[in-house]
Amino acid sequence: MKTKFLSSSLFLSIVALFGIGLVQVYSSSYIFATESYGDGLYFFKRQLVFTILAGFVLFSAVQIPPELIRKWGWVIWPVSFVLLVATFIPGLGVRVGGALRWIQLPFGIRFEPSELLKIAFSFLFASLVCRHQNHLKKVKWGWIFLIITLPMALLLKQPDFGSFMIIGLVATALLFTFGMNLKWLVLTGLAALPALYFIIWHSPYRRARVQAFLDPWSDPAQKGFQVIQSMLSVHSGGLSGQGLGQGQGKLFFLPEAHTDFTIAVFSEEMGFLGLMALLGLYIFVIFRGFQIAIKTADQFRKTLVLGLVLTFAISVFINCGVVMGLLPTKGLTMPFLSYGGSSLIILSFLFGIILNVEMHEN
């Protein structure tokens, strides 16, 4: 099994993304780290440690017995909920940029519970489908609604609207895939529109993001600054790019250059051809994940892999959409490419579980 695992095309693709991510964090953060911390390698060294830990998590996840995942996987959801609650506890929760999304850990490390919650939903849903043998009509939706709603409400309280939307989209896709009546999905969606309108329009910063998305040039120095600088960076890359490390957008023109908007830095330095190659790698990883889900005979594993792949795919799509000016800005990182330990370690666990399924199916 170990030989199969190491030769898996999915595993090799993940290793490639690890490597590209390390190079990208170095390139996009060096100037900012030099000015802010007096050490150009500050973020790179931390990301290297995160990558080593992520590799350990990935290998460990591959070794978990499938029966253990089936029996206890759903527990990740309530654990995530408890961790979300902890972000609101003084002394534990850390507020950054107006949001309470992180828990302070020893050695200056912060953990973002919403990253865990995003993948926890797939474990919960897979357990639900398996327990009711794919007959969703038998589910006691009142209790399920309560169990799902409480953590989602905390996401809005933090606030973390991006994670809220990802879980909502994954839930909708899974419910549709596993036979929930389309009429009820449409009615639920229509009923949710007024709530979404209220959530967005009655929050000044969310409203500003939507207005900047619709017309960034109406306020280029404030509301539209991020998206304009992002599009300028992508455009200036041209066909073949400025060269690794030669991008200008990261020189304090592009906010969050090493996190939310790192793909704009990549586009500027590697150009359209480099961006297409990178997106091709992401598409292959997503395609391979869907292949594993389709080939898996076991209902629990099929549902779990499908949910995890959808979570990854939607995250990639949203980040790219924001960078290209196709979606309003959200605080979501680019999987594997952005700086951040929580995201990288949870992604490694996600793909460790998918590889686990692949190894046990072959």
What 8-state DSSP symbol labels residue 333?
Answer: P
Domain that holds residue 185: 2-361
pLDDT tens sequence for the chain (362 residues):
555 666 689 999 999 999 999 999 999 999 999 998 999 999 999 999 999 999 999 999 999 999 999 999 999 999 999 999 999 998 888 887 778 889 988 877 889 999 999 999 999 999 887 776 545 555 565 667 778 888 988 998 888 888 999 999 998 888 888 766 677 777 777 877 888 888 877 778 788 888 888 888 888 878 888 889 999 999 999 999 999 988 888 887 888 889 999 999 999 999 999 999 999 999 999 999 999 999 998 989 999 999 999 999 999 999 999 999 888 887 789 999 999 999 999 999 999 999 999 988 76
DSSP 143-157: HHHHHHHHHHHHHHH
CA 69, CA 245: separation in Å to the nearest integer? 42
Q: How many domains does the chain have?
A: 1
Question: Do 355 and 11 meet the contact criterion of CB atoms below 8 Å apart?
Answer: yes
* Residues 198, 186 contacting (CB under 8 angstroms): no
